[in-house]
Amino acid sequence: MTIRNLAKVSLPALSLTLASQGAVAEAPSTVDATYQAPSITAALPVGDKIEDLFTLNMTTPYIVQKLTGRTYWYQSGFYGTTWYVGDEGVLLFDPLGGQAETLLSAIRTTTDLPITTIIYSHDHADHIGGTPEFLALLEDQATAPVLVSSRETAEKMDRLNSQLPRPDVTLSWPEAIFRFEDVTIELHGFDHAAHTDDHSAWLLVEERVLHAPDLLNPDQPPFWGFAGSERFSYLQDNLRAANALDWDYFNGGHGNVGSHDDFSFHLAFIDDLIAAVGAAMGEVPWGYGVDASTLTAHTPMLPAWYEEIARRATETLRPEYGQYYGFDAATPANAEMVAEYLFSYR
Ligand SMILES: [Zn+2]
């Protein structure tokens, strides 16, 4: 299927509207966080997280949390973003796919100012696919918002024939800096990125907030496929680079409000996963689980090998990590990505 054909495929709405399941036991914090009820008026103490976030995603239209004097954290249907309220307008990251009306309603609980700048963090439709509908909702503004992205994201949108509005302003890659009213925005692109080739972290310098969707999901073990990353290679480098920046609050586009403790947890989890996968690769013989007498191609041998390695590595990690959010759904797939990485790079 060509990319042009793909654009004509009708995809289901991405926002997850899930029926209430009643009271649900929330998974324990991966970083022993202190939890607070969400608030649009009280800034969240650094390191604290929003309580009952899974339940809130399942049962409420959206969650808004004030991070600092001017920066807000938003989540709906397990998708989140960030905005900054200036004196004259709002800077918004990532108009999420399928969420234009919900997102604007949420912003309006914090300010009536116009949306003057929109930043695409990276070219993934689930994060920026709501832009056309969002812009349509702003048609009565005196001035349309300025769309901003990295040069890498703009070029990628061209390469893949994106149907989404192109940025008005493109920033140099991988590093750039610009001002929005009184706040400094730094682009820190990952020159070699795990998630996508245009993946980047965006720092609101004076607010000490880092916005980098799909880098990690705070308060969880790594999400399935390392948050939909195209490769595992470079993920540790990307995590270390983002962790070394000067910030207090992190928005990963999914999961809870993040802190540096979440980066430490992820890096430790990944170290343990690499060790477990490496050990399993030494134990599982090539051809495991395949009946050679019935083979008509050698193709089944590789996926069968990876599957057993991933199963064993998942069991190795279970005593320490099995109680955490989504462990069983995510870890086998992540172990397979690590196995492929270890097999390829020695
Ligand atoms: Zn993404």
Separation of CA 244 and ligand 1 centre (Å): 21
Separation of CA 50 and ligand 1 centre (Å): 23
Whole-prediction pTM: 0.93
Percent of the chain at pLDDT exceeding 90: 91
Percent of the chain at pLDDT exceeding 70: 93
Separation of CA 234 and ligand 1 centre (Å): 15
Separation of CA 216 and ligand 1 centre (Å): 11
The count of residues in the chain is: 346
Separation of CA 214 and ligand 1 centre (Å): 5
Separation of CA 154 and ligand 1 centre (Å): 15
CATH number of 3-258: 3.60.15.10
Separation of CA 279 and ligand 1 centre (Å): 31
Mean per-residue pLDDT of the chain: 94
The angle formed by the CA atoms of residues 79, 332 and 262, to the nearest 5 degrees, is 50
Q: What burial class does residue 9 get, using C-beta atoms within 10 Å of its C-beta: 0-12 exposed, 13-18 middle, 19+ buried?
A: exposed
Q: For position 5, what pLDDT does the model report? A: 46
Q: For position 341, what pLDDT does the model report? A: 97
Domain with CATH 3.60.15.10 in the chain: 3-258
Separation of CA 198 and ligand 1 centre (Å): 10
Residue 247: both structure tokens together: 């910030």
**Ligand 1 ion local residues (Cβ < 5 A):** 124, 214
Strands, sheet with 71-76, edge to edge from the N-terminal-most edge strand: 63-66, 71-76, 79-85, 90-93, 115-119, 146-150, 169-171
Q: For position 25, what pLDDT does the model report? A: 87
Model confidence at 285, pLDDT cuts 50, 70, 90, reads very high
Separation of CA 286 and ligand 1 centre (Å): 34
